[in-house]
Amino acid sequence: MFSLFRKLFLFVAVALSGSVFAMSIAGQTYTQVEFDSLQKAGKPTLVMVHADWCPTCRAQDPLLLDLLQTPSLKAITALSVDFDTQKDVLRSFHVSKQSTLIIFKDGKEVARSTGDTNKDSLAALLKKAL
C-alpha cells in the first residue's frame, strides 16, 4: 500500500513540476497584447509553442532556460504558447506542431525551428533575434 501512495505522489510531483518549469522558462504566457507591445518596441522575442505532454518540449526546456540566462541572450523575451489551448495563436503563426520555436527581431520573424533539442543549434537560433 505504501508503494502505491509513493508512486502516486511521485507521479503528481513530476506532472506538476513539468508545468511549473515550462512557465518559468517563458516567464509569461503568450498574449496578443504582450506580443504586439514587444514587436512595436522592436524587442527580440522568442515564441515557444509548448505542450506539457510533449517529450521534445521537455527536452528543450532546460536547454532554453540555460541559454536565456546567458548574458548575451538575456535581452530576449520568451512567450509561451500552449499547444493544447491556444489554437487561434497556432493558426496565426501557421504552427502545426508542438516544440516549435519562432524568433522575432525588429518586429519580423527571422527564424523558426521545430523539434530541435541540440543546445548549439538552439543557441544559434536565439542569436538571430539579436
* Distance of alpha carbon 24 from alpha carbon 80, whole angstroms: 10
Instruction: Report pLDDT digits (tens) over 44-75.
Output: 999 999 999 999 999 999 999 999 999 999 99
Task: Enumerate residues 6+ apart whose C-beta is below 8 A from 2.
Answer: none
Rg (CA), the chain: 16
Q: Residue 111: which CATH number?
A: 3.40.30.10
Instruction: Report pLDDT digits (tens) over 84-128.
Output: 999 999 999 999 999 999 999 999 999 999 999 999 999 999 999
Query: Based on the structure, what is the number of domains in the chain?
Result: 1
Pick from 121, 129, 117: which is nearest to 38 by CA?
Answer: 129
Name the residue range of residue 12's domain: 2-127
Contact yes or no for 50/20 (Cβ under 8 A): no
* Distance of alpha carbon 35 from alpha carbon 54, whole angstroms: 24
pTM of structure: 0.79
